[in-house]
Structures are given as structure tokens and as C-alpha cells.
Amino acid sequence: MVEVPLKDPSMVVRSAEPYNAGPPLETLRMSLLTPVQLFFVRNHGTVPVVDAAAYRLTVSGLVDRELRLSLVALQREFAPSTVAATIQCAGNRRRELNAVRSIEGEIPWDAEAVGTATWTGVPLGAVLRAAGARDLGRYVHLLGLDTVATDTQGFGGSIPLEKAMSPEVLLAYEMNGSPLLPVHGFPLRVVVPGYIGARSVKWLRSIFVAAEPSRNYFQSHAYKWFPPHIRAQTVDWTAGLTLTEPPVSAVICTPREGQRLQAGHLTTTGYAFAGGGRQIARVEVSADGGMHWEAAQLVGEAHAWAWRFWEAHLRLLPGRRPIVARAEDSAGAGQPPEPASVWNFKGYVNNAWHRVTVEVV
């Protein structure tokens, strides 16, 4: 197993190279701000070794002034901003889709490809204003320094200019108050709160303002959503939906699948998250597979771009008991009962009711 400095030994390593890993769910649920050593990592290629002193970020495309900024210049010329935000991979909860129909060549994440941190950096909008982004520019292309097999340019993507100008979107150099770890994008990454994690490009090399979305593989092929009947062999990539804001989803962190529990009272805990800055309006939990529901308590305060923890009290009778959780967000959106209805051949944004079956004795 590869050892990534400062990552916790409890991390479940999904692939050693590229390094992809996440924490056990019960550990993830222990802290509203995920400690850096437990924060999941999703890498498509190499982790570049970047010399912070030699690092330059370029800003070009439909701008009045091209910029070439060192890290020091970025920190000196723009006011810092801090946002508490959840990053959730579009592949989070793919394991349940895999159980419906196998998904080839993708990481079978359980529900651990998510984490919340405070991110400190400079608003992307301030940098775009300094460059004089023109009206013709509708998209902001973001490109990383890593080498990936699928695109000669490296890992990249784009976000609408309107989102890029929102104050929560940061060029971040700190995570939970410390400089980014190499695996999280040192020295500079984008953080796009409310969007799927793929748009939060790490090891940011360049920003390019354009009239069209990026043609990078990770924008034009990967991270698109297709309906359940579409297969990899027959896909028309231009027809897919570009994934942006993940749908509302509640996840049970404790108890774990297959756990043996004593009959009687159980406190079940979990997290819930919705993209687009939507809040968690309510979480409900069932101890009988979804016939009867109990309201869960939402824990702590709501933060605009962060997940919400919840807990619920159930009474368990002996037998095999399917515990189920579902949430509704502030826009009134809920979750579908079955993963089959949201299955897609890349295994993205599964938000079916989350189920954990326990043995009660």
C-alpha cells in the first residue's frame, strides 16, 4: 500500500497509483470539518511536485489583460477569503449503482468520497475582474498541472462565468488553516462550492476565459450524466448532461452494513448534502425499509456550502432490519427510493435512499 504522508492509516485505499482513498464512514462522521489527514483524495493522474517559488498561474482568453501571477503576488494583490465548503465527488455512492449493474473502470466508492473543510484563498471573481474578463466570455476553463492518460493537456474542466464570479468560488492555497497538501493541489487549487468535486481543479496551471465550455476530456466526456439505458459502447458523448450541482442525498454513517446490534434503542447518525448551496430542510429515517419514517434531528448550524450532520433515534426489533435514510433540500427536492432508477454507466451522482441492513439480536 502506498503511504501518503499525513494521511491517516485508517484510509481505505481504492487505488494506490493514482492514489485514491477515503476514510471509514464512522470516522468521517466524527467532525463537521474533516481533518486533512482523513479527507478523501480523488486523483486521475500523477501528483505533480510543484516548486511554490517558481509557480506561475496564467489568466488569458477573452480578457483585457493577460495575467501571470506568482503565489506571492496572488496573496499580496488580492484580499483573502475563507469559505467552509463540502467537496463531494460525482462518483460518491457508486458502489450501490454497481450492485444494480456492474460499472467498468470506475472506482467503487462507498459514501466516503466527500469531505468538508475551510478553504482560504482569493475569490476567482477578483482575479477575473483584475484581468478584465469580457462579456463574450461565458465559461472559465481551469487546467491542472497533473499528467493524465486521457487528455494530452492534463486534467481540466470549465464552469460558467456567472458561477466563477460568485464570491464562494476560490483559488485556495489553504485547507483547514494550513497550506494544501500535495495530494490536495499544492500550491493552488480551485474550490467550486456547490458543484461536483471534478470542477475543483487541483494544481491549477491556467485560467482561460472562453465563449464555449472546455473540450477537456473531463468536461466533454467524463463527468456527464446519461440515462439508465445508455451504455459505454453506444454513447453519443455530446448528448449527455454536464454535471454541475449534485442532488440532495442523506447517508447513514453509523451503524455500518451487517453490524450486529442489541434490540431496543439505537441512535443512527449520518450526513446530508445538497449541491447549489441548497440547505438540508429535513432528514427522515426508517427502521423497516421505508414503510414508517422518523424525523431526524439536524445537528449544529447550517452553513451555506457545507453538509449537515444528523442523528435519529430508532427502536429496533430482533431480525434483519433495513435502516433507510432520505433527505429533502430547501428547494423541495427529495431522493428516489431505488438506485436502479438513477443508474448510469459512469456511476455518477447516486442519490437513491441510503440503506444499511443490520442484524438485531
Among residues 62, 67, 74, 87, the one that binds ligand MTE under rule CB under 6 A: 87
DSSP E strand stretches across 64-191: 67-70, 81-88, 114-123, 139-144, 156-160, 170-175, 178-179, 189-191
Percent helix, strand, coil in the chain, to 5, is: 15, 35, 50
Least Å distance between CB 311 and ligand MTE? 25
Among residues 89, 159, 274, 356, the one that binds ligand MTE under rule CB under 6 A: 89
Q: How many helices (H) and strands (E) does the chain have?
A: 6, 23
**DSSP string for 23-62:** --HHHHTT-SSPPGGGS-B--SS------TTT-EEEEEES
Least Å distance between CB 297 and ligand MTE? 28
Report CA Rg, the chain: 21
Does 144 sit near ligand MTE (CB under 6 A)?
yes
Does 112 sit near ligand MTE (CB under 6 A)?
no
Least Å distance between CB 214 and ligand MTE? 13
The vertex-271 CA angle with 267 and 272, nearest 5°, equals 125
Among residues 112, 146, 151, 329, the one that binds ligand MTE under rule CB under 6 A: 146
**Total residues at the site for ligand MTE (CB under 6 A)?**
18
Which grid coordinates are listed for 173?
A: 492555497
Least Å distance between CB 145 and ligand MTE? 7
Does 217 sit near ligand MTE (CB under 6 A)?
no
Binding range to ligand MTE, per CB under 6 A, among 36-44, 158-166, 295-303, 313-321:
36-44
Among residues 98, 116, 200, 269, the one that binds ligand MTE under rule CB under 6 A: 200
Among residues 93, 94, 202, 326, the one that binds ligand MTE under rule CB under 6 A: 202
Task: Give which of 360, 284, 361, 297 is closest to 324, Cα–Cα.
Answer: 284
Least Å distance between CB 171 and ligand MTE? 13
The answer for residues whose C-beta is within 8 angstroms of residue 76's C-beta and 6 or more apart is: none
Interface with ligand MTE by CB under 6 A: which residues? 39-44, 87, 89, 144, 146, 155, 184, 197-198, 200-203
